């Protein structure tokens, strides 16, 4: 099934079940007022939501409205956890090569993850506020999952069963704040402002054969200022599956229902498919030409992140954001 | 006023107003079912909670129960943000000196902060689960604040006004996982398991003259296995005030109501006052003797963290935790 959250003036918005073709939606206040409420009580709520989804798809419901992506908040407008990985080693290798460093052997077996701020996400069509263009604003196209409860020390198999929903991510990053933050030793903090997610989150069964091995095997379509910037395939070069990333978190603590876990910037070794962030293009320029030419995002620049099924239909709706100045 | 959250089988527990002397409490379902609900609507809820608090202190309420710290969950059993600073530079200096490194000049003007996991906190009397004693389990006694909404780019003055509540923290840390994590460059992640907070959170006005300059000027009392381990003063050597720490977060993103911001391990230069974590004692041993003798926490070890007013009365109740093995 497909779920979204409509803005309604409250902090957590209103849960909506969305038709498979993203044309219609329906509120479900009798099942769960918000997505977090549904996740908190998933075993009870999910079968009822699925039934409603089936009825919506077959035209059996009253009170149906046209689905409007511009009315969407983040599926979880605020969440209790946003833990982001960096599972595409090609991206890591490029970062390292651009500064003349090797990738440690351990990076191929031990995931890189950081804890992101989760208290206030950007809506999928919300502008990206930029206080200082010198901070080096970048987008990062990713895939993410929303989990149920995961106990401390959960196995990879148990983590696989805890994946409730899949969605897309724009992990907004302030590149020029990163070197100083990493030098301080505590990791990303100010360099990771509010993240945006796709309008729609979908259950893994909705992805059919494109979801296997705990990965989503479809190209992530990234447009920058109206032109295709990249379409890297999200499955094959993902070094760690989502269940493995979740198990990495669960090694030392439990995860509560509604935790979001991200893949990191989708990246392929085949450069013909382009990139899902500006930094990667800049690193390739540094490696090939000795200097980066592609500027970071400026006020007015736009990014669009989407994924389409084999028939060309949008699965999650589109993240579509424009940079605006913020005083 | 003083607020706590009783466990009641739900994920967010039940908000309780607690008497100043921590002997009595009362549920307030007509005002707010949970602390997060009160924080979400603070301007509406706070005056009503304060009135109830005054009535509770003067014995004017029915349905009052004895206050029992063992029934408490974390004031926020799960939160949308837990951002922890490292504002006591003495602690940072000891860490660095123990490994022969200098403290960069920027550390005195630019706060160290990391994003902690906030989806599942330990109750103040909950055992600390330990999967592997080799991970080097340590406690860290800290002071924390819970904020209201803070806009992007908020000034220090605005951040000061956004402080809703003050509480104590046990920032549980797995010391031996830190070197590998820091070497990876992404900061703390697995090395920071679930955090615990004091049973009671209090409004700053409750602290009288001990709260000024955005800092809490009282000793933090830390007992380890039943003996006083440290009583460092939390105010005077705090390099960055809470409003400055909050402004550090707000530099690149807004904070949502219910965000928790921590001070970092309280630490004083005067070694006679002891320490608020084991690592600091070990670093002093390394500096003085060339090797650490004090072991990290093992199964059965206990830590108690509390703060008392000038009359000797407990302000926040006590964090009191025992390490238990977790398979």
Interface probe for B, chosen from A87, A147, A185 (most Cβ of B below 10 Å), is A185
Give the pLDDT confidence of A121-133 residue by residue, as tens digits: 999 999 999 999 9
- A95 — pLDDT class (breaks 50, 70, 90): confident
B98 vs chain A: nearest CA distance in angstroms? 16
Helix runs in B149-219, H state only: 156-161, 178-184
Is A115–B189 a contact, with Cβ atoms under 8 angstroms apart? yes
Average pLDDT, chain A: 96
Return the closest-CA partner of residue A153 out of B135, B120, B326: B326
B252 touches chain A (CB under 8 A): yes
Which residues have C-beta within 8 Å of that of residue A290, sequence separation ≥ 6? none
Q: List, in sequence order, every residue forming a beta bridge with A15; answer none if it has no partner.
A: A5
Handedness of CA A116, A88, A253, B227 (dihedral sign): negative
Residue B120: CB atoms within 10 A of its CB come to 24
Q: Report the distance separating Cα B125 and Cα B128, nearest Å.
A: 9
A251 touches chain B (CB under 8 A): yes
Which residues have C-beta within 8 Å of that of residue B299, sequence separation ≥ 6? B130, B133, B323, B324, B325
ipTM of the complex: 0.97
Size of interface A-B (CB pairs under 8 A): 150
Q: Report the distance separating Cα B38 and Cα A11, nearest Å.
A: 13
Return the closest-CA partner of residue A13 out of A52, A71, A65, A68: A71
Give the pLDDT confidence of A208-263 residue by residue, as tens digits: 999 999 999 999 999 999 999 999 999 999 999 999 999 999 999 999 999 999 99
B305 vs chain A: nearest CA distance in angstroms? 22
Q: What is the pLDDT of residue B97?
A: 84
B101 vs chain A: nearest CA distance in angstroms? 13
- Tell whether domain A82-325 is in CATH 3.30.70.141: no
Q: Could you list the beta-strand ranges (E) of chain A.
A: 2-6, 14-18, 24-27, 65-66, 82-85, 113-116, 128-130, 137-138, 141-147, 163-170, 173-174, 196-197, 200-202, 211-212, 215-216, 221-224, 227-230, 260-262, 302-306, 319-325
B185 touches chain A (CB under 8 A): yes
Of A16-25, B120-129, B184-193, least confident by mean pLDDT is B184-193
Q: What is the pLDDT of residue A101?
A: 83
- B100 — pLDDT class (breaks 50, 70, 90): confident
Return the closest-CA partner of residue A189 out of B113, B106, B92: B113
Q: Structural domain boundaries of chain A?
A: 2-67, 82-325
Match 């959960």 to its residue by tokens.
A154
Match 């038709």 to its residue by tokens.
A19
Q: What is the pLDDT of residue A102?
A: 86
> Residues B186, A248: contact at Cβ < 8 Å?
no
Rg of the Cα trace of chain A? 19
Is A119–B152 a contact, with Cβ atoms under 8 angstroms apart? no
Q: Copy the structure tokens of residue A134.
A: 């010198």
Element (H, E) at B45: helix B42-57
């Amino acid at each position: 099934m497909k779920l979204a959250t409509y803005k309604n003036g409250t902090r957590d918005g209103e849960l909506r079940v969305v038709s498979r073709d993203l044309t219609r939606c329906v509120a479900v206040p009798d099942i769960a007022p918000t997505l977090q409420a549904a996740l908190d009580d998933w075993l009870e709520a999910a079968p009822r939501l699925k039934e409603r989804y089936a009825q919506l798809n077959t035209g059996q419901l009253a009170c149906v409205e046209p689905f409007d992506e511009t009315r969407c908040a983040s599926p979880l407008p605020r969440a209790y956890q946003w833990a982001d990985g960096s599972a595409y080693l090609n991206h890591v290798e490029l970062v390292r090569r651009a500064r003349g460093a090797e990738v440690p052997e351990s990076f191929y077996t031990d995931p890189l993850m950081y804890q992101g701020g989760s208290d206030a996400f950007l809506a999928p069509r919300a502008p990206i506020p930029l206080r200082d263009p010198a901070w080096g604003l970048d987008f990062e196209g990713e895939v993410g999952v929303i989990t149920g409860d995961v106990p401390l020390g959960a196995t990879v198999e148990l983590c696989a069963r805890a994946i409730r929903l899949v969605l897309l991510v724009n992990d907004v990053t302030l590149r020029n704040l990163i070197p100083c933050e990493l030098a301080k030793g505590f990791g990303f903090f100010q360099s990771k402002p509010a993240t945006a997610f796709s309008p729609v989150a979908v259950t893994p069964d909705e992805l059919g054969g494109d979801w296997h091995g705990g990965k989503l095997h479809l190209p992530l379509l990234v447009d920058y200022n109206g032109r295709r910037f990249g379409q890297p395939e999200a499955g094959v070069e993902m070094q760690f599956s989502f269940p493995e990333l979740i198990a990495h978190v669960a090694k030392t603590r439990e995860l509560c229902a509604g935790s979001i876990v991200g893949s990191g910037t989708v990246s392929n070794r085949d450069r013909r498919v382009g990139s899902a962030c500006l930094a990667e293009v800049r690193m390739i320029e540094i490696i090939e030409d000795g200097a980066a030419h592609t500027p970071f995002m400026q006020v007015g620049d736009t990014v669009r992140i989407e994924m389409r099924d084999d028939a060309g239909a949008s699965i999650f709706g589109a993240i579509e954001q424009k940079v605006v100045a913020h005083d």
